[in-house]
Amino acid sequence: EWTPVNIVTDAVEKVREQVGDAKVIAGLSGGVDSATAAMLVHRAVGDNLTCVFVDHGLLRQNEGEQVVEAFRRNSEVPLIHVDARRRFLDRLAGITDPEAKRKIIGEEFIRTFEEEARQIEDARFLVQGTLYSDVIESGTRDAARIKSHHNVGGLPEIMDLDLVEPLRNLFKDEVRVVAAELGLPDRLVWRQPFPGPGLAIRIIGEVTEERLEILRRADHVLQDEIRSAGYYRQLWQSFAVLPAIHSVGVMGDARTYAYPIVIRAVTSDDAMTADWARLPYDLLERISNRIINEVPGVNRVALDITSKPPGTIEWE
Ligand code: XMP
């Protein structure tokens, strides 16, 4: 019978069978999947688990600190926090191609993670929060693959680690049920999905500290308004995109020539297909006004009204 308690008991049992007394490493991304996978494994193996959080600097406003704080407050699992912001930015300098960005971030992530993980003696397993939908999307059909998801594959081969994937049979909504059952905080349980390469694939063109700051601020306003209006949970994802164009505007008596921000909000069950969200006009108006008033470097807001297919959810 499918109950949250049964799923947890079952998953914990399976993990125990798989890893025995071996040491296990889990990477935390800040999202619900990796946290739920880690907590399940923690139930199964206790002190044999160490978590690693690599802050690649491509997270949303205050997200890095929130992740670490929430985890330390809610569990006694040892957590290694790696500040790798500089090295990711350095490697992304001058890179504009979407797949090149993904590849660099994936590689750099593996390298950083590996350096830390090597210090955890005789670790034999690596936890990944792979979901059923990830398995389907990234799957075996490499040729048909639309985008390379950076959280699938790579590290285990290099480090000779076996994968533990306790969420492999679950859909996102089931993961949330399990997360709540495990006592994870609401803010994490209901966090919208966020891609591994982070804001880098929502910045069209080059990723720079300055452009990251613009997107972070715009995204923060958007999240704030979406939450206050009570829409956050109904939406699969809602976020801002920073294109690599400028347009002319007027502020006060002065001509401006600045970036637009694109708002993307979608509903979906599993990210395989998605529909653009019909947000109320007054909410859109508030978002637009606030972004233009509060984010220097932005003078226009546009709304993405493309479903998936033909669009993908992310812009890159
Ligand atoms: P797309 O853009 O392909 O996205 O419609 C489907 C879902 O996957 C997320 N996404 C990623 N997640 N690494 C991730 O961990 C990635 O490289 C990646 N690319 C897209 C996206 O946010 C959406 O939820």
The pLDDT value given to residue 187: 86
CA pair distance 303, 262, nearest whole angstrom:
6
- Residue 24, domain member (yes or no): yes
Average pLDDT over residues 58-68: 88
Give yes or no: residues 212 and 148 share one domain: no
Q: Which domain holds residue 157?
A: 4-189
Measure 58 CA to ligand 1 centroid, in angstroms.
Answer: 14
Q: Is 85 in the pocket of ligand 1 (CB under 6 A)?
A: no
- pTM of the predicted structure, to 2 decimals: 0.89
Protein residue with least CA distance to atom 10, ligand 1 = 195
Give me the percent of the chain exceeding a pLDDT of 70: 93
Asked whether the predicted pLDDT for residue 147 surpasses 90, the reply is no
DSSP 3-state of 138: helix
Which neighbouring-strand residues pair with 162? 125
Give yes or no: residues 85 and 175 share one domain: yes
Give yes or no: residues 51 and 170 share one domain: yes
Cα torsion through 45, 84, 89, 105, rounded to 10: -20
User: ipTM value of the model?
Assistant: 0.99
Count of domains for the chain: 2
- Residue 72, domain member (yes or no): yes
The pLDDT value given to residue 140: 46
Q: Which atom belonging to ligand 1 lies closest to the Cα atom of 314? A: 2
**CATH number of the domain within which 35 lies:** 3.40.50.620
Average pLDDT over residues 61-66: 87
Give yes or no: residues 52 and 155 share one domain: yes
Measure 149 CA to ligand 1 centroid, in angstroms.
Answer: 7
Which neighbouring-strand residues pair with 298? 259
Of 189, 216, 244, the domain-final residue: 189
Q: Is 34 annotated as a binding residue?
A: yes
- Residue 242, domain member (yes or no): yes
Measure 293 CA to ligand 1 centroid, in angstroms.
Answer: 30
Give yes or no: residues 118 and 178 share one domain: yes
Residue 25: closest CA among 150, 141, 169, 128:
128
Give yes or no: residues 146 and 213 share one domain: no
- Residue 118, domain member (yes or no): yes
